[in-house]
Structure 1
Amino acid sequence: MLKDARGLEVTTDSQETIAAINRFIEQALGYGKDAEACLLEGIAADPTCATIHAYAAAHYLSQENAVATQQAIAHLQVAQQHVAKLTKREQLYVQAIAAWGSGAIDRAIALHEEITQEFPRDLISVQQGQYHYFYLGDKERLLKIAQKVLTANRDNHYLYGMVAFGLEQCHRLAEAEALGRLATTINRHDPWAHHAIAHVMETQGRVSQGIAWMEKHADTWENCNSMLYTHNWWHIALYYLERGDIEKVFSLYDTRVWGGAQKSSPKDQVGAIAILLRLELRGVDVGERWQELSFYLYPRIYEHALPFQDLHYIYALAKAGRREWLTQMLESMERYAKTVNPYLRQNWFEIAIPAAKGLVAHAIGHWSTAIAQLKPVVPQLYKLGGSHAQRVLFEQVYRNSLLREEKFSTSTLYSSNSTTAKRRTPTSSITDCSSVSGWSKAN
């Protein structure tokens, strides 16, 4: 029995595995690009170490795609084979990741809460608890799970960044900025702290300061994993979009947000989609970018890892004119919703699926259908997760639908041919909403 750098016992006799675990923890908390390599090194040194297999399973599950999930299951199976000899903390952790792997998110959360209560130095468990709360839209508990371990981790700037993000999501902006700046003062290479402050400044409309802050620290992101590298640049792109500097936004999209992405990564895909949609809502022609991006979305059609992600994919498929894929995905979402863990089922049926249909309607220019589908669910969209900065996009789509419908109605009213006026054919190649499961054709 050895201890890791946080003073937590790990069931292994391999110093090499402990060293690998320590490197992994640093990589995971700092969103480093070498986390997987650390895990594989540690497993090679002790293939029977259940904890590092559980860490590997969590690493792959967080990628939220089918291939990575299969990798996670393989590691979980090994971890569970050795669970009887583990410490209480390790047993709880293996159980938490197994619950995540089976879709029992409520069970996973309860276990992470128990771990952080009894073993407050386990910041990996805190981070994963925050992850689940984030995708449930539970900002209060996202903050609390990190706050409650502050006393035991006053030496850790990564925790300050985690708390700062929770504070920002709870609209405690001054506190969030102070703690994020403290984390960055302790270690300039703390990308999650940079990210928390980016949210604060965006919420407050401090565009120039936000650009200066993020660009000042951008050199430190070169060792980040693809998700946070592209996401932090995504925030910079949003600042320039707010400035109206469309040329700069396209440059960042082409070189950092999508151009710098791991294009098979769901989270990188979501960021790229969100930028293109924001540009189009401002009337900007994005060229062939929808079509180019959509080639990478086919593997997402049947995954349904997170409803938040599905809403982005479905819009992109509609904009790219992928009619067959789009229909397949909507039908698959409805089938999946019947099988999902009861804790999450209501969110799929009552929020995600209507929102998906509304987003597709907007993408193909059927404004009245978009309004009808989105209006009841917009107040509930927070339950699907994402940050304020991410979720506001769906609200913008709804408001845009209202404006476009009003404009269409007004132009029809005053048209010289108003008695025979018909809705213009949408620019998308998907022209008939009746082809989408559960829809009626828009007026």
Structure 2
Amino acid sequence: MLKDTQGLVVTTDSAKAIAAINHFIERSLGYGKDAETAILQAITADPTCALAHAYAGAYYLTQESNKAWQQAQPYLQAAQQYLAKITNREQLYVQAILAWANKEIDVAIAFHEEITNLFPHDLISVQQGQYHYFYTGNQEKLLEIAQKVLSSNSEQHYLYGMVAFGLEQCHQLKAAEKMARIAIALNRYDPWAHHAIAHVMETQGRVDEGIAWMESFADTWENCNSMLYTHNWWHIALYYLELGNYQKVLSLYDTHIWERANKQSPKDQVGAISLLLRLELRGVDVGNRWQGISPYLYSRIDEHALPFQDLHYVYALAKAGLHEWVNEMLQSMQHHALSINPFLRRSWLEVAIPAARGMVAHAKGDFNTTVAELKPVLSRLHEVGGSHAQRVLFGQVYQDAVLLAQKQNQIYGMTA
């Protein structure tokens, strides 16, 4: 057995496997573009390393697509073959990823909590625990799982960035910025810490400062995976949107967001969709950009990896005029909601599906229906996941619908 870069025991005798695992850990915590390559190299070096197989499975699951879920399966099966011969920490981690693959998110969370309690140096587990809390709308726990291991990781800049984001999501903005600046003082190349401060400055209306801040670090994002590269540029675009510089926003969309996206990536697709919608809410003509995204969304219709993603997909399909696909997706969402475990089912049935109907109605110009569907779920939209900055969009759609419904009703009242 050998120890990884976090000082934790890994069941392997291969120095090459450990080196590759260390590279994977660094890339995962830093949102690097070659995390997949690194973990597959670890498996090549030691095909019996259960933790490496579990890491590979987790990597694919974070992609949140059917294709990636299928890619994860052989690695998860391999991890289970060696389960009896590995350490307690590794066993807990494998079980957490298996639960995730089975869509038992509450079970996965429980395993990550246990790992962080027993092995506070395991920042990969902390990161994945935060991920699940993020997409189930539990901001307090998102902060807590990172904060509780801070005293054990005082030199780990990635953890300061994790805590910073948790603080921001809990509206502790001053503390969030302080934590993120500590992370960046330790390592300028920490894109998640940059991202946390982007949220803080946006929330506080520090638009010009936010642009200067994010653009000063943009050179460090070239080695990021497409998700965080495009997402950090998305935050810059939001600043320019607030300034009313819509041509700049469209330029950023074309050069740094959709152009640099992995077109098959759900998270990259969501960022592009949300930016186009924000532009249209400001009265901006986005041209044929909806049609540029929609062909990539067919595979999403029956996927339902995350409700947050589905709300964006179904809107984009409606904006592209693909109404048969829209109806198919709404029916599929209902079927999915009735087939999943109770922990997730309630939010799908009571929040995600009504919100999806409201988003589709808005895309079609049926603003009365938008208001009727969105108004009852506004206070619960955190349950679908996403950050405050991302979810505020749904509130903007609702407010837009309220105003336009009033205008429509006045016109119809006058002509009746």
Normalised-by-shorter TM-score class: over 0.9
State the partner residue of 2:44. 44
Deviation for aligned residue 1:409: 2.0
Task: Write the distance in 1 (CA, Å) between the matches of 2:45 and 2:412.
Answer: 72
Structure with bigger helix share is: 2
Residue 6 of structure 2 aligns to a residue whose secondary structure is coil
- Counterparts of residues 239-258 of structure 1 (less than 5 Å): 239-258=239-258
The residue type equivalent to 2:36 in the other structure is: E
Task: Write the distance in 2 (CA, Å) between the matches of 1:412 and 1:301.
Answer: 35
Task: Write the distance in 1 (CA, Å) between the matches of 2:288 and 2:270.
Answer: 17
Deviation for aligned residue 1:40: 1.0
Task: Write the distance in 1 (CA, Å) between the matches of 2:247 and 2:368.
Answer: 32
Task: Write the distance in 2 (CA, Å) between the matches of 1:7 and 1:178.
Answer: 27
Q: CA RMSD of the aligned region, Å?
A: 0.6
Deviation for aligned residue 1:187: 0.5
Deviation for aligned residue 1:321: 0.3
- Counterparts of residues 240-319 of structure 1 (less than 5 Å): 240-319=240-319
**Is residue 191 from structure 1 mapped to residue 206 from structure 2 by the alignment?**
no
Task: Write the distance in 2 (CA, Å) between the matches of 1:155 and 1:241.
Answer: 37
State the partner residue of 1:133. 133
Cα shift readout 1:414-443 (whole Å, capped 9, x = no counterpart):
x4xx22xxxxxxxxxxxxxxxxxxxxxxxx
State the partner residue of 1:324. 324
Residue 237 of structure 1 aligns to a residue whose secondary structure is helix
Task: Write the distance in 1 (CA, Å) between the matches of 2:21 and 2:264.
Answer: 27
State the partner residue of 1:352. 352
Task: Write the distance in 1 (CA, Å) between the matches of 2:5 and 2:357.
Answer: 49
**Is residue 32 from structure 1 mapped to residue 32 from structure 2 by the alignment?**
yes
Cα shift readout 1:253-303 (whole Å, capped 9, x = no counterpart):
001111110010000000000000001111111110001110110010110
Cα shift readout 1:7-38 (whole Å, capped 9, x = no counterpart):
10000110000000101000000000010110
Task: Write the distance in 1 (CA, Å) between the matches of 2:63 and 2:402.
Answer: 35
Task: Write the distance in 1 (CA, Å) between the matches of 2:320 and 2:160.
Answer: 41
The higher radius of gyration belongs to 1
- Structure 2 stretches lacking a partner, 5+ long: none
**Is residue 335 from structure 1 mapped to residue 335 from structure 2 by the alignment?**
yes
Deviation for aligned residue 1:411: 3.1
Cα shift readout 1:338-367 (whole Å, capped 9, x = no counterpart):
101111000011011110001000100011
State the partner residue of 1:179. 179
**Is residue 202 from structure 1 mapped to residue 176 from structure 2 by the alignment?**
no
The residue type equivalent to 2:30 in the other structure is: G
Task: Write the distance in 1 (CA, Å) between the matches of 2:99 and 2:282.
Answer: 42
Residue 377 of structure 1 aligns to a residue whose secondary structure is helix
Task: Write the distance in 2 (CA, Å) between the matches of 1:150 and 1:377.
Answer: 35
Task: Write the distance in 2 (CA, Å) between the matches of 1:230 and 1:370.
Answer: 29
The residue type equivalent to 2:164 in the other structure is: A
Deviation for aligned residue 1:68: 0.5
Aligned residues: 416
Task: Write the distance in 1 (CA, Å) between the matches of 2:31 and 2:252.
Answer: 21
Cα shift readout 1:102-137 (whole Å, capped 9, x = no counterpart):
000000000000000000000000000000000011
Task: Write the distance in 2 (CA, Å) between the matches of 1:412 and 1:323.
Answer: 25
State the partner residue of 1:219. 219
State the partner residue of 1:163. 163
Task: Write the distance in 2 (CA, Å) between the matches of 1:361 and 1:386.
Answer: 22
Deviating 4+ runs (over 6 angstroms): none
State the partner residue of 1:437. none
State the partner residue of 1:440. none
Task: Write the distance in 2 (CA, Å) between the matches of 1:112 and 1:244.
Answer: 43
**Is residue 6 from structure 1 mapped to residue 6 from structure 2 by the alignment?**
yes
State the partner residue of 1:363. 363
The residue type equivalent to 1:355 in the other structure is: A
Task: Write the distance in 1 (CA, Å) between the matches of 2:283 and 2:4.
Answer: 53
Task: Write the distance in 1 (CA, Å) between the matches of 2:206 and 2:313.
Answer: 30
Cα shift readout 1:149-178 (whole Å, capped 9, x = no counterpart):
001100100000000000000010001001
- Counterparts of residues 396-407 of structure 1 (less than 5 Å): 396-407=396-407
State the partner residue of 1:431. none
Task: Write the distance in 1 (CA, Å) between the matches of 2:409 and 2:43.
Answer: 64
State the partner residue of 2:116. 116
Cα shift readout 1:13-70 (whole Å, capped 9, x = no counterpart):
1000000010100000000001011011110000010000000000000000011001
- Structure 1 stretches lacking a partner, 5+ long: 420-443
TM-score, normalised by the number of residues in structure 2: 0.99
The residue type equivalent to 1:59 in the other structure is: Y
TM-score, normalised by the number of residues in structure 1: 0.93
Task: Write the distance in 2 (CA, Å) between the matches of 1:266 and 1:337.
Answer: 19
Task: Write the distance in 2 (CA, Å) between the matches of 1:207 and 1:412.
Answer: 40
Task: Write the distance in 2 (CA, Å) between the matches of 1:274 and 1:294.
Answer: 13
State the partner residue of 2:375. 375
Deviation for aligned residue 1:236: 0.2
Cα shift readout 1:186-206 (whole Å, capped 9, x = no counterpart):
110000000000000000000
Residue 287 of structure 1 aligns to a residue whose secondary structure is coil
Residue 375 of structure 1 aligns to a residue whose secondary structure is helix
Task: Write the distance in 1 (CA, Å) between the matches of 2:356 and 2:223.
Answer: 35
Deviation for aligned residue 1:412: 3.4
Task: Write the distance in 2 (CA, Å) between the matches of 1:325 and 1:226.
Answer: 27
Task: Write the distance in 1 (CA, Å) between the matches of 2:175 and 2:224.
Answer: 26
Task: Write the distance in 2 (CA, Å) between the matches of 1:125 and 1:193.
Answer: 18
Taking only the aligned residue pairs, the percentage that are identical comes to: 67
